[in-house]
Amino acid sequence: MSDTIYTPYTYRITSKTTGQHYYGVRYAKGCNPDDLWIKYFTSSKYVHQLIEQYGKDDFIVEVRKTFLDSEKAREWEDEVINRMNMIRNPIWLNRNRGGKDWFYDGSRTGFTLSEEHKKAISRHQKGKIFSDEHRKNIGKAEIGNTKRAKNFRLFTPTGNIIEVYNLAKFCRENDLVVTTLHHGGTTKGYRIVE
């Protein structure tokens, strides 16, 4: 039995500037809710990016619940994130549930399909006959790809709103992750205005 006294807890952090929230859990040895935002500033890289942009004083910090053991704290965090579907809601900075159910943000190459799954898709597609109109539509969609470009309004890291034509090109030029924006997330402080 350890002599270290600790109090696992869940917390919520809200940026006053962006209105985005982060829900987390702390269960490390010696942790105490009194350390939140004094010694401990979450493990979220998204929260740390906002701290760099707006400073620590930009946040409202709340301890939501305390626990007697770390397992209960982690289970509660997972339940709340899942119940509120935080990882797919742009108002929340959470991008996974305790290291599982990751939200695809474009930083990985994509999801890997098994060979069996690839073969099943192939079998399903073989022998399909597409109408002439369908083939023309596919062709039009693929010509230059810029024909599909549209205007987007984005929040910038400074809180301004800008209009962008061809989001994919803008993201390439500014080293941003386009899929994160398309899925309602934030990349380097940019997000789509809904």
What order of strands is seen across the sheet that includes strand 191-192?
Answer: 161-165, 151-155, 191-192
Residue range 73-113, pLDDT digits in tens: 999 998 998 888 888 788 888 877 665 544 444 433 344 55
Question: What is the pLDDT at residue 129?
Answer: 77
Q: Is the pLDDT of residue 23 over 60?
A: yes
Domain annotation covers residue 70: yes
Question: What is the pLDDT at residue 2?
Answer: 45
- Among candidate residues 123, 55, 46, the one with its CA nearest the CA of residue 91: 46
Pair 153, 84 in one domain = no
Q: How does residue 4 score in pLDDT terms, banded at 50, 70 and 90? A: low
Provide the whole-model pTM.
0.52
| Among 88, 104, 133, residue at a domain's last position | 88
Parent domain of 14: 9-88
Q: Is the pLDDT of residue 19 over 60?
A: yes
Better pLDDT: 134 or 10: 10
Number of domains in the chain: 2
Domain annotation covers residue 169: yes
Question: What is the pLDDT at residue 148?
Answer: 61
Residue range 109-144, pLDDT digits in tens: 344 556 775 676 677 667 777 788 877 776 655 555
Residue range 46-72, pLDDT digits in tens: 899 999 999 999 999 999 999 999 999
Pair 83, 14 in one domain = yes
Domain annotation covers residue 133: no
